[in-house]
Structure 1
Amino acid sequence: MAASCSLVCCGEERESDKAVVVRFSNGCVNNADSLDFSMYRNADGNKPKKRNRQILVAESDRLCYVGQNFGGTSLKCNSLCKYYVGVLNRQTMQMEVHSAQLFNMQPMIPGEMAENAKPQDTNSYRDKVDSLIEAFGTNKQKRALASRRLNQVGSDALHQAVAKAASSVIDSKGLEALQQEVAETESQAALSSHLPPCNADADKRENVYPFDELLSPEEFAALEQAGSKMAAHTPEELQKMKDEGRNQCIIKHLENLATVGEARDKTSRCAFYLSMLLKLARQKNVTRKFGQEEDCPHIIQNKLLRTFTVGTFNNGRVQNMVSTSMRAKLAAYSLALLLHMGYMTADLTLLHRDLGITETRMIEVAKSMGLTLSKPVRAKSDEAGLHDDHRQASVVLPLVKYDQFLERRKRKKMH
């Protein structure tokens, strides 16, 4: 019958008194008695971080092994787990349980660390792979490596040339001037993307901004009933609308409406469509019921929502919104429509008031469309206050190519 033994706990031990369990990284030791173990502890016991640092050295006839419980080569499991070693006393048959720590023993060649040690390997993974290709790669890999390095040299030279050119431009023009030009260019590009279709090489002024691109034949036909209502306005009703300050550019054309004929019908239909554009320009969020109060045809409603609004998500629902860029698009299409209503001449002053935008923004739209701007000279007589000094825009062939809005005034700083 085997003899029984009992366990004896030795209590909490200091870090320096823990049992040592070693592991050799390059294999197993056949004869552990041939190794001579030595333990070295940090002599600076006043600093808590260095107090428990230990180095274990195992020497044999052929090789020397070193392990430590600190630094990058130490085992992280010492800080995550607790290890215990049981020692059996065969005389008392009691097993004493001691806490232990693990050491990872690595072979050490004398003099190698001092000669070849580097503070940090600065070579990247790509550099190491390139070195292997240079030493052991195939001819195809070496050619690819040489080609990539040539391209890298060319790219670096190009970047240096661009940086030098940019530095010279900044020194000559100044950083603020360049930023202003970039902002104006971006503004012009954003504005030109919302202009109506233009045929700059047209032989007639009426064909520069084709009417069919503004209103298709189907849409123009659908406005017959709505145009008749616009043409039926009495002078009293027009005067009431003028006193209310609504749609002054439309009222001006309705007051000068032809008595009969095709021109009367076309102007009245365009006036209704223009009134929808002006109303839409003053909206922010547009619902599907837009235009129902004015008995707007369904095909026109769909055109307005599809062309001059953007879809946004709000509380899981899609809403139509008139963004800033869409307001510029509304201004451009309204101006093109007014040109067809006024024999290729439009009143910019009345239009920008009806649209609710600034005159500067309206002028930018007109310049982007290549229109010729004019403003009558104010009369010197007493009747000068009654003189029409509104700014006009007209189509003149060939179209005018303006500079990138260099006349824009700087904003005044707030003091």
Structure 2
Amino acid sequence: MATATWRYRGDPEGERPAALVRFANGRLERPESLRFTVYRNRDSAHPRKRHRRIVVRLRDSGRAARGCVTAVHSGATASGCNGLQVQELLIAQVSETERLCYVGHNFGSQATKCNSLCRYFVGVLDKSSGQMEVYNAEIFNMQPLLSDNVMPDDTKEYQKKSYREKMDLCIEAFGTSKQKRALSSRRMNAVGSDIVSTAVTKAAANVIDAKGVTALMQDMAQDDVQNISAFLPPCHEDADRPEHVYKFEDLLSPAEYEALRVPAAALASATAEEMAKRAEERSLCSFVLEELKFLPTDEKSRDHKARCLWFLDTLIKFSQQKVIKKKHPMGPECPHIISKKLMKNFTSLTYNNGSIQNLISASMKAKITAYVIALALHINNFQTDLTVLQNDMKLSESRILDIAKALRLRVSKAKGVPGLENDQNHKLGTLSLPLPTQKAPEGQRKRKKMN
């Protein structure tokens, strides 16, 4: 049986161990065709830097290599390395990729940790003599470099890129056609968004420069007032008397006013016992119960106030509903012309489950509140307790104050008003001339969108 001996030779050249290269991806088809270049640090005097090496696999045809370890003499190609035979130690099957340039380092973050923990050797066996020459070796982990420049500065720039940018580079190099189209589309959309954003920013800057911030704030306030003004009764700003600002005829037409004569007669002729029973049963709202205590003795004035109170109570009760399902939602005692007015002017049509329904939306409730306040002003000589109406309509204070200010009322505390001396939280709304300047309601900045 033949025997063999080995002899340790150290480095193939002075301080140049053999390079074992291991490819990170791909499949090595023709290892004999690989060509490598080795770069070393120029600072040969530095004890650490003089050992630094960079191994570069030049671009060529074929597939990228994965899991392959190849021995190559430093500073030479694989086919001419002083007799060192190229050894293919491990092969893994992967998909075909584009031509790439691979770079490996024996220093820095890309260097394999095993170089500092282990020593590696390459043996060359002469079969005729049975003599094996053993040389020092280093392992280089070859990574694909997605750039034409293979200098170390480029790899530093690559490490600074975000995860998304690195993934995009991988898609450009290894992605399928579908992934590349998606990447191109995403980049085009990003460019389009940047263009639109730049154009909008520039246009906004031009408008601000032209009009000024103060004028823009005033325009915005005016728009907020106009949005809520769409649900207010017609306002006659040039009126010379408070009763002409919101005309009674705009709240109740003559025909509607006449239709209220019969249902209002029961209120006008109610006795004290009947009023106490109504208060106990809460069949009337608090505002109406309080005003019925002060009905005029004059028959015409008494009848007029009773009609207004009956309609105001009907409006408040109507606003408590959400979806109107009945043809006569306020009962048979409500005149037909009044029911028609409620359905036409204070509901929104909506389509639900195959049928059309009448809905009292948030905007419609705001409209009802505005008409209730305007009617209460006519009843109370153009000064009314907003807190009582707020409680009857189950609104927040900020909401009813916003509507009152949109109606151009002056809001104050109810101090000194008979019957309210002990309650300082009540708010009074007063309609007086000249009308206050329109301002954006404070709560409108956070209001919900009206349906």
TM-score band, normalised by shorter chain: 0.5 to 0.7
Residue 167 of structure 1 and its aligned partner are, at CA, apart by 8.1
Query: C-alpha distance in 2, partners of 1:307/1:229?
Result: 26
- 1:121-179 deviations in Å (ceiling 9; x for gaps): xxxxxxxxxxxxxxxxxxxxxxxxxxxxxxxxxxx99967534357889xx99xxxx99
| Residue number among 282, 289, 292 corresponding to 2:320 in the alignment | 282
| Residue number among 306, 323, 326 corresponding to 2:344 in the alignment | 306
1:211 aligned residue: 248
2:205 aligned residue: 164
Asked if residue 239 in structure 1 is aligned to residue 280 in structure 2, the reply is no
Change in Cα spacing, 1:191 to 1:295, as seen in structure 2 (3 Å) is same
1:119-268 aligned at under 5 Å gives the runs 162-165=203-206, 187-244=224-281, 246-268=284-306
1:12 aligned residue: none
Change in Cα spacing, 1:242 to 1:359, as seen in structure 2 (3 Å) is farther
Q: Are 1:312 and 1:318, in contact at CA under 8 Å, matched by a contact in 2?
A: yes
Query: C-alpha distance in 2, partners of 1:317/1:159?
Result: 43
Change in Cα spacing, 1:282 to 1:200, as seen in structure 2 (3 Å) is same
Q: Are 1:370 and 1:402, in contact at CA under 8 Å, matched by a contact in 2?
A: yes
Secondary structure class of the residue paired with 1:268: helix
Instruction: Structure 1: give runs of 5+ residues left out of the alignment.
Output: 1-41, 52-119, 121-155
Q: Are 1:220 and 1:269, in contact at CA under 8 Å, matched by a contact in 2?
A: yes
Residue 341 of structure 1 and its aligned partner are, at CA, apart by 1.0
Structure 1 counterpart of 2:408, one-letter code: G
Change in Cα spacing, 1:289 to 1:230, as seen in structure 2 (3 Å) is farther
Instruction: Structure 2: give runs of 5+ residues left out of the alignment.
Output: 1-60, 65-92, 99-183, 185-196
TM-score by length of 1: 0.54
TM-score by length of 2: 0.50
Change in Cα spacing, 1:407 to 1:328, as seen in structure 2 (3 Å) is closer
Residue 390 of structure 1 and its aligned partner are, at CA, apart by 2.7
Q: Are 2:413 and 2:424, in contact at CA under 8 Å, matched by a contact in 1?
A: no
1:401 aligned residue: 437
Q: Are 2:308 and 2:375, in contact at CA under 8 Å, matched by a contact in 1?
A: yes
Structure 1 counterpart of 2:353, one-letter code: N
Secondary structure class of the residue paired with 1:311: strand
In the comparison of the two structures, how many residue pairs are matched? Answer: 258
Secondary structure class of the residue paired with 1:374: strand
Asked if residue 328 in structure 1 is aligned to residue 366 in structure 2, the reply is yes
Query: C-alpha distance in 2, partners of 1:296/1:384?
Result: 33
Asked if residue 352 in structure 1 is aligned to residue 393 in structure 2, the reply is no
Query: C-alpha distance in 1, partners of 2:392/2:332?
Result: 18
Query: C-alpha distance in 2, partners of 1:274/1:336?
Result: 10
Structure 1 counterpart of 2:205, one-letter code: K
Q: Are 2:222 and 2:439, in contact at CA under 8 Å, matched by a contact in 1?
A: no
Q: Are 2:63 and 2:96, in contact at CA under 8 Å, matched by a contact in 1?
A: no
Change in Cα spacing, 1:406 to 1:277, as seen in structure 2 (3 Å) is closer
2:22 aligned residue: none
Structure 1 counterpart of 2:344, one-letter code: R
Give the share of equivalent positions with the same residue, in percent: 33
Q: CA RMSD in A?
A: 3.9
Change in Cα spacing, 1:225 to 1:367, as seen in structure 2 (3 Å) is same
1:101-120 aligned at under 5 Å gives the runs none
Query: C-alpha distance in 1, partners of 2:399/2:239?
Result: 27
Residue 264 of structure 1 and its aligned partner are, at CA, apart by 1.0
More helix by share: 1
